[in-house]
């Protein structure tokens, strides 16, 4: 049952609406003037308000302003005569959700009121979520945990989030740098703006500039239309540059100019475009060492490094593993439509013994595969550690020294390629060819998956 407030000086209209809404299971609060309405609103929040544009000597427009001042999210529907539609439209500019011209059909009124209920529920949900966000010291459902090392990271994130300082997040691959960047964005004053993330390590060199800065039509072969860059798309939000250490010297120079002047220029463009973004960056390399090696601009490094956060590897915070296992089991259940409820002590012990060179990303992949094979509980036999990383584990593994193979002259990339292809094939089979689920299962983004599928001819 929904509750509505009608503000109308005509008692006949109020009585008619009261009878109609009561037959539809709704409750109607009634006010004949502005004072009565405001007194009701002090005591109770209805799901919507029906407000007559003219209340005798009172102005419905003026009362609308008072209601919106009291509760800006409360849906207000204006009641008006056909000759007053233009005034009703002005009321919508002042915050009214909709208007209905008299005489109106009850069924149409009901549709508008149902819309008001949905709007009201949405606003209440947003308020509740905002309250939850303010109360949280770390986000639920992400790659963190209760360890002292992560608590220190979260504390640093909360300190720097409300500022506009540029932040460098350093940590090994798979440790959750982008998740931390999103956390900083979510707790910043730019949270209502976009969060745009770019992996500089996977962007082809020829496309880096056009992706970051955009281009004009005809700027190069194939540029058949104008396209904004990521800096523009992140307007009033946060731009996250992952693996920033991979940028070429030329792009580094252009990025420095953006940070200094807050302007960009499209490829093929002749005019500068103002940008309004906060820059967060990350690297699994030591950027200060790259500066010493003359592989990264020192002036750019200092611009990016106004604040620094270092993420520990998973092997440095193994007390987080039980929490992460439970979280990823829940995620896998939702993604894979499974109902796994727990993980055995033996399986958990094996996970805690592993060195996790791939960090949280590798851990998540293992849990997803285990959930795919398990029924009610993840057991030891469901844990399939990566063949390329099992040797790093301190868990007991039966193996014969005589089984080791000598190096064959292959590069690491050539040796890993067949395994990568096999894993992608298995994942595609397990997900029925669903690319989104396959990417999640493998712990990579869809662009990377499409590239690897094409590379391996799958």
Q: Over the chain, what is the mean pLDDT?
A: 83
Q: Respond yes or no on whether the N-terminal peptide bond of residue 103 is cis (omega within 30° of 0).
A: yes
DSSP 117-149: HHHHHHHHHHHHHHHHHHH-SS-TTSS--SSHH
Q: What is the mean pLDDT of residues 176-188?
A: 92
pLDDT in tens, 90-99: 777 788 888 8
pLDDT for the residue 398? 37
Phi, psi of 50 (to 5 degrees): -105, 115
| Percentage of residues of the chain with pLDDT beyond 90 | 37
pLDDT for the residue 413? 56
| Percentage of residues of the chain with pLDDT beyond 70 | 87
pLDDT for the residue 367? 95
Model pTM? 0.55
Of residues 426 and 405, more confidently modeled:
426
CATH class of 148-312: alpha beta
pLDDT in tens, 309-356: 999 999 999 999 999 999 999 999 999 999 999 999 888 888 988 889
pLDDT for the residue 119? 77
> Contact 373/336 with Cβ under 8 angstroms?
no
Phi, psi of 220 (to 5 degrees): -160, 170
CATH class of 315-393+413-455: mainly alpha
Report which of 274, 258, 95 is spatially closest to residue 166, judged by C-alpha positions. Answer: 258
Whether 112 has a pLDDT exceeding 70, the answer reads yes
First to last CA, the chain: 55
Least confident of 171-180, 395-404, 426-435: 395-404
Of residues 40 and 387, more confidently modeled:
40
Residue extents of the structural domains in the chain: 3-133, 148-312, 315-393+413-455
pLDDT for the residue 405? 44
- Domains 3-133 and 148-312 agree in fold: yes
Q: What is the mean pLDDT of residues 130-152?
A: 63
The residues, ordered by sequence, that sit 6+ positions from 363 with a Cβ below 8 Å of its Cβ are 314, 321, 324, 325, 328, 351, 356
CA distance 214 to 206: 13
Band of the pLDDT at 85, cuts 50, 70, 90?
A: low
Q: What is the mean pLDDT of residues 426-441?
A: 80
CA distance 283 to 200: 10
Band of the pLDDT at 302, cuts 50, 70, 90?
A: very high
pLDDT in tens, 230-286: 999 998 999 999 999 999 898 899 899 999 998 888 988 888 888 899 999 999 889
Band of the pLDDT at 403, cuts 50, 70, 90?
A: very low
Architecture of the 3-133 domain = 3-Layer(aba) Sandwich (3.40)
Whether 438 has a pLDDT exceeding 60, the answer reads yes
């Amino acid at each position: 049952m929904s509750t509505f407030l009608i503000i109308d000086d005509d008692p006949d209209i109020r009585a008619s609406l009261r009878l109609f809404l009561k037959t539809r299971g709704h409750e109607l609060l009634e006010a004949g003037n502005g004072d009565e309405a405001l007194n009701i609103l002090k005591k109770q929040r209805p799901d919507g308000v029906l407000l007559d544009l003219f209340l005798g000597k009172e102005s419905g427009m003026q009362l609308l302003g008072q209601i919106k001042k009291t509760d800006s999210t409360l849906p207000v529907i204006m009641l008006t005569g056909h000759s007053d539609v233009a005034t009703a439209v002005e009321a919508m500019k002042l915050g009214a959700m909709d208007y209905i011209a008299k005489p109106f059909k009850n069924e149409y009124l009901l549709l508008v009121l149902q819309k008001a209920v949905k709007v009201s529920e949405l606003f209440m949900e947003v308020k509740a979520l905002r309250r939850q966000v303010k109360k949280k010291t770390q986000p639920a459902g992400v790659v963190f945990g209760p360890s002292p090392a992560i608590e220190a990271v979260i504390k640093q994130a909360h300190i720097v989030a409300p500022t506009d300082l540029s932040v460098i997040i350093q940590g090994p691959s798979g440790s959750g740098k982008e998740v931390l960047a999103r956390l900083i964005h979510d707790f910043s004053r730019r949270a209502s703006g976009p969060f745009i993330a770019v992996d500089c390590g996977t962007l082809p060199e020829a496309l880096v500039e056009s992706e970051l800065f955009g281009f004009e039509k005809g700027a190069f072969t194939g540029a058949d239309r104008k396209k904004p860059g990521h800096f523009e798309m992140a307007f009033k939000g946060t731009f996250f540059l992952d693996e920033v250490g991979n940028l070429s010297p030329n792009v580094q120079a252009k990025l420095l100019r953006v940070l200094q002047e807050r302007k960009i220029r499209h490829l093929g463009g002749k005019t500068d475009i103002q940008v309004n973004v906060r820059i967060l960056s990350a690297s699994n390399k030591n950027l200060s060492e790259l500066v010493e090696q003359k592989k990264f601009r020192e002036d750019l490094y200092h611009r990016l490094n106004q604040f620094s956060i270092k993420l520990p590897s998973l092997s440095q915070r193994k007390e987080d593993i039980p929490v992460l296992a439970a979280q990823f089991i829940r995620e896998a259940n939702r993604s894979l439509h499974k109902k796994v409820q727990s993980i055995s002590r033996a399986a958990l012990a094996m996970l805690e013994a592993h060195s996790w060179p791939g960090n949280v990303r590798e851990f998540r992949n293992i849990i997803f595969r285990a959930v795919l094979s398990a029924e009610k509980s993840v057991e030891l036999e469901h844990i399939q550690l990566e063949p390329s990383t099992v040797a790093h584990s301190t868990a007991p593994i039966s193996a014969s020294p005589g089984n080791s193979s000598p190096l064959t002259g292959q590069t690491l990339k050539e040796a890993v390629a067949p395994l990568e292809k096999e894993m992608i094939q298995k994942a595609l089979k397990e997900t029925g060819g669903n690319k989104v689920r396959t990417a999640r299962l493998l712990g990579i983004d869809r662009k990377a998956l499409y590239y690897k599928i094409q590379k391996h001819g799958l």
